[in-house]
Amino acid sequence: MKAEYDKETDTLTITLRDARVKESDEVRPGVIADFGYDGGVVGFEILQASKVVEHAGEMQFAVAG
């Protein structure tokens, strides 16, 4: 999994797995889901991230259990 914040475009991209994207769909205003050829989710893009994500340029990561 990888998360990247682009300050210039104010976009947060979360990649869940390394797979080619077949299609993308805006599932909610400003949230785009990318789907692979197998139909599974590959990742997400959050547009205008600084308006909806606290500290978009910083990241904390936790693994449960």
Tokens found for residue 7: 């300050």
Please give the pLDDT value at position 53: 84
Per-residue pLDDT of the chain (65 residues; tens, 9 = 90+): 899 999 999 999 999 999 999 999 999 999 999 999 999 999 999 999 999 888 777 777 777 87
Please give the pLDDT value at position 11: 94
> Are residues 12 and 53 in contact, defined by beta-carbon separation less than 8 angstroms?
yes
Please give the pLDDT value at position 27: 97
List of residues 6+ apart from 41 with CB closer than 8 A: 16, 33, 34, 35
Between the two ends of the chain, the Cα-to-Cα distance in Å is 18
Burial of 20 (0-12, 13-18, 19+ CB in 10 A): exposed
Q: Enumerate the domain spans of the chain.
A: 2-52
